[in-house]
Structure 1
């Protein structure tokens, strides 16, 4: 491409943070960068359970994408993309702005979709998007400190995210209740999953997780789907009712509607369909990464580890697109390391069909990886205007 290439990054997710960091460290000649994001700071999902547990401050778990784009010589637009006009190569924002692009990359995450559980929209707290979750968690913590505050808390979702959240909530809410003069031991969390616990991980990891839940005094209901949520209970497919003064749902996230509404190619669930180059199917000028995109050749679960791995591949192919060079395929790992905090100074590690470990050394490794990732993206100096 001759002259200046206008790159618009829609969303401040993990992949785009890595792109911005790479561009500030090694600018790409002829590239003009604009980041459109509704928030100046982006939460890092790997540190969410630690923040919930009271281990990390809110600031420590956030990436300042406003500073990153400024350090990369780009422009920050605090807004959200409402629609992509691909034929005209422009994006329209909720605030009414029109931003032209030569290259567009989408890393806009997912949206909550609790429609499969009756009453969830009214009576449950969706875990994703994380940015919306944090203020709701603050209100839950404040409620637990009240004399008549919640005692029974349900977490729906038996994947790694739901498991880590259950451990983190148990630690934090019990500590807050005790600090307020209540009997923290009376707070009873229950983890509910429609299938076996950690269905994507190996059998040893599941055994370690079940044992850790039992040690932490967290109830576990497996193979029984949550069908309805009321203000004080969760009703399961079996007809059983679980007492719940508060319910958090770590399942049921959907694709951002703007992808299909913009006429972009999607997978059957509505997520942006991308090729191995991370380009959208049918449009070489549009890229996708993170939870909002699905590889048509190598689909993977919606997890932060894949967004982090996509980051370097995305920036390399964006550079190649600017230079008019052939793009490279990205091959996601077939076996990936999953690190799950149990919020007691230990963590569980799992990979592939057989590897699973638990202990303080695993927590040390997870904490080190997470801190180094966020700190590595930090930009020192004054906050940009």
Structure 2
């Protein structure tokens, strides 16, 4: 009897659990170690912030999914790996032995480059913690009176969607506040996407009255204000940081190869480049031969090949390589029931785009209920 251990309830591991429910292992035990029992689907979190989804609609109950899949669930935080003994080290709990290991823990907040961020900002990563933080924050805002300045730092897709979602939701619930949402980014917004997408989002920001500060990185956060790279201070009653995330610190002590940013280095089978008994997927890993953005769409697509390769290795077979798509469709919700779809050098906006995104996201969630 072999022990397959999964660390983290990320998108790829959710698919592994689903496949185990449909095709149980004949000669293997499976354990999921997860710090969070309710894991979010990242594609629906901006809609949740905007008030379009309830908490349960965009979170997967891992306890329920594990029970249906015959998987043991350990509610704990992994802190390291003892590769010599093939054990996963846990915080305040006994270690867990594995024969085959897979890691899908997402990414950690990278706020170290902004002085004061750890004390005064609300990090968006880990995404599993954002739901609770947002519910607490929005409840407080219902009674806010007078000027309310909210700043989002980070101009990638996550920051853009979050700024639009916050603006929409707070205008609906903070009715006694005079709201101003600002997005500040060290580069252009959506720097990795086409100019057509940037033009559309800039127009939406202007139409909605959201301040956009491009080429204006944040240097320091203090209570009630943010200092930008040009030396100007901006008022900010609340600050959300959506800058590039970082890898879990304990990766550095595993002895496994890492990429230049500290993420686990894997080959095109999703196995570690140095240890064929350890796999990794999602934001916590980098496929060296096929580097892609840290985006949910790629984590979702890694689920089926990861599940197949774990099963193959347990059965004594060689894992198969997986080549992710190089171009992908990105749909950005604008919080107000519209969305912008972009792929390659084109972008299109409309309410029907949101309906399309909503259909895709709800269909994905239904598979794991």
Name structure 2 gaps, 5 residues minimum: none
Matched with 1:332 is: 324
Q: Secondary structure at the match of 2:190?
A: coil
Where do residues 230-379 of structure 1 align in structure 2 (5 Å cutoff)?
230-352=222-344, 354-378=345-369
Query: Is the 1:116–1:252 contact (alpha carbons within 8 Å) kept by the matching residues of 2?
Result: no
Is there any run of 5+ residues in structure 1 with no aligned partner, and where?
379-385
Is structure 2 residue 229 aligned with structure 1 residue 229?
A: no
Q: Decide whether aligned partners of structure 1 residues 213 and 10 sit closer, same or farther in structure 2, where only a CA change above 3 A counts.
A: same
369-378 or 148-157, which deviates more: 148-157
Q: Secondary structure at the match of 1:350?
A: strand
Q: How far is 1:148 from its partner?
A: 3.7
Match status 1:126 vs 2:126: no
Q: Do 1:150 and 1:246's aligned partners in 2 also have CA atoms closer than 8 Å?
A: no
Q: Secondary structure at the match of 1:279?
A: coil
CA distance in 2, matches of 1:344, 1:8: 41
User: For the Cα contact (< 8 Å) 2:272–2:279, is it kept in 1?
Assistant: yes
Match of 1:171 in 2: 168
The aligned counterpart of 1:8 is 5
User: Displacement, 1:61?
Assistant: 0.6
TM-score (norm 2): 0.97
> CA offset at residue 142 of structure 1?
2.5
After the TM superposition, which parts of structure 1 deviate over 3 Å for at least 4 consecutive aligned residues? 147-150
Deviation at 1:149, TM superposition (A): 6.5
Residue 103 of structure 2 is aligned to residue 112 of structure 1:
no
In structure 1, distance between residues paired with 2:174 and 2:97:
52
- RMSD of equivalent CA atoms: 1.2
Post-superposition offset of 1:90: 1.1
Give the secondary structure class of the aligned counterpart of 1:283.
Answer: coil
Provide the aligned length of Structure 1 versus Structure 2: 369
Alpha-carbon contact 1:144-1:150 (below 8 Å) kept: no
Displacement, 1:201?
0.6
- Provide the rounded CA distance (Å) in 2 between the counterparts of 1:205 and 1:142: 33
Q: Secondary structure at the match of 2:56?
A: coil
